[in-house]
Structure 1
């Protein structure tokens, strides 16, 4: 059975918007890119399903371009906060199912949230927190925040504890964490067996609250 794809409208093809649009297209989705800059449109035309020049503050222009037929919209307009807000309002009126918006600052974030955007993102701040987490603890290779203080982290097993078994780490006993599995190279392994022996560079996938994850990582 073929994987179901969705259609995406990416409005604003700067560095952030064009990167998201290109990845969505690479996954096999129908993606339209929208911008007022003809050079950006030309750069993305061969990558996306379509790329068009539209003033997205004009609801009629959006409707005529068929943007109302897309499942998801990402508004990635740069520093023009007024255009971002008007575009969000227009997409809401067009009835787009899911609307994500890039915010420039906290005030912009609050306004977009009040307008009913499904998700508002501050890419620079989110990436900054992501990098700080990994710099702060070198064994943390990657992490995803789930909200309410919970995260899933990918922790690399250092050479000094290779040969120990999973149970000796105290996950679920000494530490209030849940072990979701282990990656060994490109192979995923469930960790049902407590006597599973760890190898250097194994990657533990752990779920828990950030302070407890930090305490566990510091102990490694």
Structure 2
């Protein structure tokens, strides 16, 4: 079981702590505000008031023992950068950091953050794709060029098998799962017969996904 520390309990960090609690993950929640610590104490395994800009404090928290540390400060870019730097120097296995803008992203990348998160930008992309297409119901960016999308099967796909569709050969992307009501069919076989309203979870290059959405579904 992973052990995760969330540093900074604003909207993003606090939401993470709540979600980790739902998933049964041991989480240490840290903030310099005692009010924030008290607010999320019931969701975290440990909730601690501390100044993470202080390297000895991070050592005292046993931060090196955590599998993943998320630096989720809000507008305090300097605190985010310095804390991330301390964590990398202390040898934390994985450091994920929230970025406010492109400049912040570049600095976090330079000092070795393992993953940089843009919650507002990422959510904006998901919402934009949802609004722009009548077929796409969710969108997750994997990299600059690759994504996962959830696409609703139309009349065009009803009673067709995945073998007949041959999505991989025709469009270059892959159907990795099919959701039908409450059931999810992971790694569906080629003989799986699709029904109107099925949700196809498709992975691939963005251009291939766009072609499949426009012509295949």
Q: Match of 2:52, SS?
A: coil
**1: CA distance between counterparts of 2:104 and 2:213?**
35
**1: CA distance between counterparts of 2:66 and 2:21?**
14
**1: CA distance between counterparts of 2:113 and 2:193?**
47
Alignment correspondent of 1:175: 171
Q: For residues 43-87 of structure 1, what are the alpha-carbon distances to aligned partners after superposition, in whole Å with 9 as ceiling and x for unaligned?
A: 111111111111111111222232232221100011111111111
Alignment of 1:54-73 (within 5 A): 54-73=50-69
Alignment of 1:1-220 (within 5 A): 5-147=1-143, 149-159=145-155, 161-189=157-185, 190-194=187-191, 196-219=192-215, 220=217
**2: CA distance between counterparts of 1:71 and 1:161?**
43
Q: CA deviation at 1:109?
A: 0.5
**8 Å Cα contact 1:21-1:48 kept in structure 2:** yes
| Closer, same or farther: CA 86–191 of 1 in aligned 2, 3 Å | closer
Q: For residues 165-199 of structure 1, what are the alpha-carbon distances to aligned partners after superposition, in whole Å with 9 as ceiling and x for unaligned?
A: 445545134322222232212223354344x4322
Q: CA deviation at 1:143?
A: 2.6
Q: For residues 8-52 of structure 1, what are the alpha-carbon distances to aligned partners after superposition, in whole Å with 9 as ceiling and x for unaligned?
A: 110000010011112112222221111111111111111111111
| Closer, same or farther: CA 6–197 of 1 in aligned 2, 3 Å | closer
Q: Match of 1:174, SS?
A: helix
TM-score of the aligned structures, taking structure 2 as reference length: 0.90
Paired residues in the alignment total 215
Structure 1 segments unaligned to the other structure (5+ residues): none
Q: For residues 122-164 of structure 1, what are the alpha-carbon distances to aligned partners after superposition, in whole Å with 9 as ceiling and x for unaligned?
A: 1111111111122111211223323251222221112464334
RMSD between aligned residues: 1.9
Q: Match of 1:197, SS?
A: coil
TM-score of the aligned structures, taking structure 1 as reference length: 0.89
